[in-house]
Amino acid sequence: MQKLLFAFAAACGCLSAAAQPGTFSNPVIPGDLPDPSVIRVGETYYACGTSSEWAPFYPLFTSRDLVNWTQAGHLFEEQPEWTRSSFWAPELFHRDGRTYAYYTARRKSDGTSYIGVATADRPEGPYTDHGPVVALGTEAIDAFVLEDEGKLYISWKAYGLDRRPIELLACRLSDDGLRLEGEPFSLLRDDARRGLEGQHWMKLGDYYYLIYAVNGCCGPGSDYAVSVARSKNLRGPYEKYAGNPVLHGGEGVQSCGHGTVVTTPDGRMFFLCHAYLSGENFFLGRQPILSRIELGEDGWLHFEGGETALLWRPLPLPGTAQEPVKDFADDFSSPCIRPEWSWNYPYAVPDVEQADGRLCLSGRAKEGVHTGVAFCLRALTTDYTLETACLARPAGWSGLTLYGDDRNLLVWGLQDGRLAVRLVRDGREELLGGPLAVPDDAPVYLRMEVRGGGPAAFAYSLDGNSWQQAGTRPVEPGELLQWDRVARPGLYYEGPETSFAEFEYVRMNRVR
């Protein structure tokens, strides 16, 4: 079968409808998209974020109004040659008609996280990778680029993995933005090791400002928040605001941080960062939220509405309205794979062919991995159904999945031609339902219902109309949770590399 091909294509809008005229609701980009970076080029806004252990790498979105976003593709369709894994915190920068993407990844040779750089003639890409630009110390992540008086400077988080204090470092960049020049210098230190990362660096008036994230970034205990420091000298010393943090969780928001500022054509500033929402919405992951930020009369930066992150905000641009989250449907009739799809690149090598209204999924597990290929979507709501039709009866497993990683996943589908529900938790397998014999001369339709971010019910049909429930024990959404990721719904194949699973369509519909 042909190797998987990707192209930049328009995706459906995926946003919540505002309850009142003139307002929008956060998140503005539903679903897991940590560490968002945002820029404006002309009248168009571009945002991208962490893809972590999913490929393609760094999802890219566009918008004309900051609240309605469409996925345009990814920064990289293929993995940069120098990298191994952990694709975090991309940072977009645009200058003189050229777009730069500074991104974090683990180096193939030693597994250390460093910062690479890629360039493109337009923000949509394609991007040409130039390899590592910051490869210093035991860790370098979370790049940000500042242009000051015609000179470029890059800042990053350093020393997070050894006994030295966590530190924000900076260095002059070459005029082409591809190399460090001179010696790095310190902007801010975290002697208490409470967290210091995800910075935005800018100059307003007489001061240089650092907007940065503090506390714990990830997982159920996340208490991320946003703080500010300033200096009249680019190289510091930077004074921390006595009222920090300036933005933190509250009603409906558990934690928030790691973002960048973008300016509208009329000069207003908006901050796009990620947030864990509270309750069952936590299981949608770190979702981008938008807040207006202003320079106060006291010379410090403050958020409109106060220091508590709010779900409802005034629309940034007049004459606009926020669109509702849309259902997803793919009948595999388009000439290229849609950009919403992603797969588990650290654990499997997928083989995908899309033709004649069908998708064939195959591939092989990587060495030491005992599960299969997951071809997945970002969940945009906590309550939804995922449905498909299986056309083939390969040996092994084929069907629907909720996938955390190679050792934590759920599969609802065909096992050697018989229906079953299988849970893999910390590498241990458990059959939750089945096996159930079904005729082998017709498609098998599968439906999985997710409630509160976790699988709640499983059904099958032999004609696509009449559905029967499959009995199984409840599965909690936290059973598939990873430290920095939430489980993704999608398609699954596990079997001989010479065989494949065949699917007729996929629908992911909100449960209203």
By the 8 A CB rule, do 113 and 134 touch?
no
Question: How far lies 107's CA from each of 122, 177, 219, 416, in Å?
Answer: 27, 20, 24, 39
Tell me how far apart the alpha carbons of residues 240 and 259 are, in angstroms, rounded to a whole number.
18
Q: Rounding to the nearest 10 degrees, give the CA dihedral for residues 284, 407, 433, 331.
A: 60
**Cβ-Cβ contacts under 8 Å for 401 (sequence gap 6 or more):** 374, 376, 409, 410, 411, 412, 489, 490, 491, 492
* SS3 category, 502: strand
Residue 216 sits at the vertex; the CA angle it makes with 214 and 220, to the nearest 5 degrees, is 145
* Nearest CA-CA partner of 419 in 401, 435, 439, 433: 435
- Burial profile 195-220: b = 16 or more Cβ within 10 angstroms, e = fewer: bbbbbbbbeeeebbbbbbbbbbbbee
Two structure tokens written together for 82:
């120098």
Torsion angles phi and psi, residue 282, rounded to 5: -55, -35
Place of tokens 């059973």: 479
Q: Is 291 in a helix, a strand, or coil?
A: strand
Active site residues: 35, 197
Burial 155-189 (b: 16+ CB within 10 A, else e): bbbbbbeeeebbbbbbbbbeeebeeeeeebeebbe
Could you tell me the sign of the dihedral formed by the alpha carbons of 40, 145, 82, 55, in that order? negative
What are the strands, taking DSSP E only, across 149-252?
Answer: 151-158, 166-173, 180-190, 197-204, 207-214, 225-231, 239-240
Find the Cα–Cα–Cα–Cα dihedral 196, 101, 321, 303, rounded to 10°: 20
- Spatial distance between the Cα atoms of 181 and 402, rounded to a whole number of angstroms: 46
